[in-house]
Amino acid sequence: MASLSSADWLDLLDSSHGLPPPLRACALLDRVWQAEPGWAASLPLGQRDRQLLELQQALFGPQLELLAICPRCGESLELALQVPELMVPEQTSGSAEALTLELDGRLLRCRLPDSRDLWDAAQQADEGQARALLMARCLQLSEQDQAEAAAPLALSEEAVQRLSAALSDADPQAHTELALQCPACEHGWSEGFDIASHLLSALASWSERCLDQVHLLARAYGWSEAQVLALSPGRRARYLERVLA
pLDDT tens digits, 225-237? 999 999 999 999 9
Domain limits, the chain: 6-90+178-209, 95-170
pLDDT for the residue numbered 150: 47
Strands 188-192 and 177-181: antiparallel
Mean pLDDT of 93-119: 82
**At 157, is the secondary structure helix, strand, or coil?**
helix
Report the alpha-carbon distance of residue 131 to residue 122 in Å, rounded. 10
Residue 237, class by beta-carbon neighbours within 10 Å (0-12 exposed, 13-18 middle, 19+ buried)?
A: exposed
DSSP conformation class of 190: E
Angle between helices 157-170 and 127-138 (to 10 degrees): 60
Average pLDDT rounded to a whole number, residues 64-85? 96
Residue 100 pLDDT greater than 90, yes or no? no
Written in H, E and C, the secondary structure of 83-137 is: HHHHCCCHHHCCCCCEEEEEECCEEEEEECCEHHHHHHHHCCCCHHHHHHHHHHH
Q: What is the mean pLDDT of residues 28-52?
A: 96
Give the model's pLDDT for residue 94.
47
pLDDT at 127 over 80: yes
Query: Which residues are CB-contacts of 186 (< 8 A; sequence separation ≥ 6)?
Result: none
List C-alpha distances in Å: 74 to 19, 65, 67, 121, 157. Answer: 33, 19, 12, 30, 36
Asked whether the beta carbons of 35 and 158 are under 8 A apart, the reply is no
Q: What is the DSSP letter of 40?
A: G
pTM, whole model, 2 decimals?
Answer: 0.89
Q: In whole angstroms, give the CA distance from residue 188 to residue 12.
A: 40
Residue 152 pLDDT > 80 = no
Over residues 128-141, the mean pLDDT reads: 81
Q: Distance between CA atoms of 135 and 138, rounded to whole angstroms?
A: 5
- What per-residue confidence (pLDDT) applies to 144? 55
Q: Note the pLDDT tens digit of each residue in 181-225.
A: 999 999 999 999 999 999 999 999 999 999 999 999 999 999 999
CA 130 and chain centroid, separation:
19
Q: How many of the other CB atoms lie within 10 Å of CB of 201?
A: 12
pLDDT of 18 over the 70 cut: yes
pLDDT digits 0-9 by tens, 68-77: 999 999 999 9
- The pLDDT of residue 159 is 84
Q: What is the pLDDT of residue 180?
A: 97
Q: For the range 94-102, what are the long-range contacts, defined as Cβ-Cβ under 8 Å and sequence gap of 24 or more? A: 94/46, 94/169, 94/170, 94/171, 94/172, 94/173, 96/170, 97/44, 99/166, 99/167, 99/170, 101/162, 101/163, 101/166
**Residue 187 DSSP SS3:** coil
Q: What is the mean pLDDT of residues 8-22?
A: 95
pLDDT of 145 above 60:
no
Parallel/antiparallel/unpaired status of strands 188-192 and 139-141: unpaired
List the one residue out of 60, 23, 49, 51 whose CA is nearest residue 192.
49
- The Cα–Cα gap between 221 and 179 comes to 50
Query: Which pLDDT score is estimated for 143?
Result: 56
